[in-house]
Amino acid sequence: MSAGGARERGAQAGWVVVLERELRDLWVGGRGLVLCFAFSVLVSAIAYLAATNEALNFLEQREALNLVVQVGMIVGALLALLAAADAISGERERGTLESLLVTPVSRRQLAGAKLLAALSLWLAAYAILVPYGWFLARSVGSVGTALVASFVIGTLLATVFASLGLLVSLFASSNRVSLSVALLALFALFAPTQLPGGARQGWFADVLLHVNPATAAERFVNRVLISGSSWSEEIGWLVSPLLAAALLGAAALLLASRMRLGGGGAG
Amino acid sequence: MRRLRAFATALLAAAAALPASAVAATDAGSGLSATVDRAQISTQLGRGFAFHSTITNAGPQTARGLVAHLSVLSVREEPYVDPEDWSPQRVVFLDPIPAGGSRSLRWQMTAVNAGTFGVYVTVLRKDAGEAPTPNTPTIDLRVTERRVLNSGGILPLALAIPALLGALTIALRLRRRA
């Protein structure tokens, strides 16, 4: 076996070891379960309020499904962002980053493992969301569409926000700064989804809605679940979430090599 | 006099009992008439229903450029009606109807509000300046609410999932302490 092959295997084992440790910390340590419990309480409350109208209405059932799916995706992405924003700056603040940096694992692999661990929170949130989605979607005959759309779009959004959180965490000197900046970015991107319909008209608004991955994802899910449009008709809305996930994920991994013990960039 | 009043009452009652198609709206000028196959529809909130309208050309010439438009309105102040919610297709551009011919249209609707509504079809011409066109008689639509205590039983699910996760969290904490 060549030295290069052995090194590659060793390096591969390195990120797997970090990922295992991160997953154990998150799930066996109990933090992940507490977050999932809070997530399930929130989704339960929204699903119950949305589903128990006095008057059963076909249109409102689609809207109820859309509401629960969108809240599930956004909060799932928020959980991934919180875990990622804590990933490096948290270690830095607790004084454990130094011992991590001296291990024979490259900084890029370290960041990759932490990103995957953060995304495990979204996967758990999706698993919790599935029964609610199935329950609400079966009466309007769109179980498959709702579950597949929420998985694809939610995974893209979680990747976008977890990568963003990790990027900020790489260079933030404290956890407080990292969480504040990452949350501000999340709210700024989701704020346009709350604009009234009239403010979203015109070519400029249309460009902004397409460019912003959060609004594009929201619009895609709206069209597919409420209007009953096909994926091929609305595929244009998927471009910016896909690009943002790929670019921010790549940026977080590439810039991880500039990670420093005291925060800030290389220099 | 009493006999005359009784006859008039009976005549009015008979007219009221007639199906809507028998009281078609005809425009004498153009020879066009429009009818619907139902006088009244009773349904429940969320249910789909359909009716047919027939546009007949009794005039001497082919009727061209006709557009049929489905309208729904609340005959009470509440609720507000958004016709787009009630029917996905509310406009039909008609092919020319030859003299003596007719065209039947099927209108598919969903009851999205409870209450009393009027539903009718208007026939228009593409060129507004031409001879006047008719409306169908108004269908009396009654939509009753469908009350549910617990929509499809989501409550057990909404309680069970957080309870399960809460129990798992507590069990994990107890195990770690032990």
SS3 per residue for B155-167: HHHHHHHHHHHHH
Cα distance between residue A63 and residue A57, in whole Å: 10
Domain shared by B124 and B171, yes or no: no
| Cβ pair A218, A139 in contact under 8 A | no
Q: Report pLDDT digits (tens) over A209-240.
A: 899 999 999 999 988 888 778 888 889 999 99
| Cβ pair B23, B15 in contact under 8 A | yes
Token digits of residue A55:
């008057």
Residue B15 lies in a domain: no
Distances (CA, A) of B165 to A35, A41, A68, A134: 10, 9, 19, 19
Domain shared by B96 and B69, yes or no: yes
B169 inside 8 A of chain A by CB? yes
A227 inside 8 A of chain B by CB? no
Domain shared by B55 and B123, yes or no: yes
Domain shared by B95 and B155, yes or no: no
Q: Report pLDDT digits (tens) over A29-42.
A: 888 999 999 999 99
A41, A55, A132 member nearest B157 (Cβ) = A132
B176 inside 8 A of chain A by CB? yes
Residue B85 lies in a domain: yes
| Cβ pair B38, B59 in contact under 8 A | no
**CA A85 distance to own-chain centroid:** 12
Residue B74 lies in a domain: yes
Tell me the nearest-neighbour CA distance from B114 into chain A, angstroms: 9
Residue-number span of the structural domain to which B165 is assigned: 150-178
- Cβ B45–A30 below 8 Å, yes or no? no
Residue B134 lies in a domain: yes
Higher per-residue confidence, A88 vs A103? A88
Distances (CA, A) of B124 to A46, B69, B70: 46, 8, 11
| Cβ pair B52, B107 in contact under 8 A | yes
- Cβ A30–B173 below 8 Å, yes or no? yes
Domain shared by B169 and B111, yes or no: no
* Structure ipTM: 0.80
Domain shared by B90 and B174, yes or no: no
Cα distance between residue A71 and residue A132, in whole Å: 12
Distances (CA, A) of A178 to A108, B10, B41: 19, 84, 62
Residue B9 lies in a domain: no
Domain shared by B92 and B47, yes or no: yes
Cβ partners under 8 Å of residue B59, min gap 6? B30, B31, B32, B99
Residue B23 in this model has a pLDDT that exceeds 70: no
Q: What is the CATH number of the domain that holds B98?
A: 2.60.40.10
Domain shared by B35 and B114, yes or no: yes
Domain shared by B126 and B51, yes or no: yes
Which phi and psi angles does B99 have, rounded to 5°? -55, 130
Tell me the nearest-neighbour CA distance from A104 into chain B, angstroms: 30
- B154, B173, B176, best to mutate vs chain A, most A CBs in 10 Å: B154
Cα distance between residue A187 and residue A214, in whole Å: 10
Tell me the nearest-neighbour CA distance from A60 into chain B, angstroms: 9
Return the closest-CA partner of residue A73 out of A180, A225, A209.
A225
Whether residue B60 is preceded by a cis peptide bond, meaning omega within 30 degrees of 0, is no
Residue B149 in this model has a pLDDT that exceeds 60: no
Domain shared by B119 and B46, yes or no: yes
A37 inside 8 A of chain B by CB? yes
A48, A58, A132 member nearest B46 (Cβ) = A58
The overall pTM is greater than 0.80: no
- Cβ A33–B169 below 8 Å, yes or no? yes
Say which range, A140-149, A246-255, B63-72, B151-160, has the weakest mean pLDDT. B151-160
- Cβ B45–A28 below 8 Å, yes or no? no
Residue B14 lies in a domain: no
Residue B6 lies in a domain: no
Q: Identify the closest residue of chain A to B113 by CA–CA distance.
A: A57
Return the closest-CA partner of residue A265 out of A180, A185, A173.
A173
Domain shared by B177 and B117, yes or no: no
Residue B148 in this model has a pLDDT that exceeds 90: no
Domains in chain B: how many in total? 2
Residue B117 lies in a domain: yes
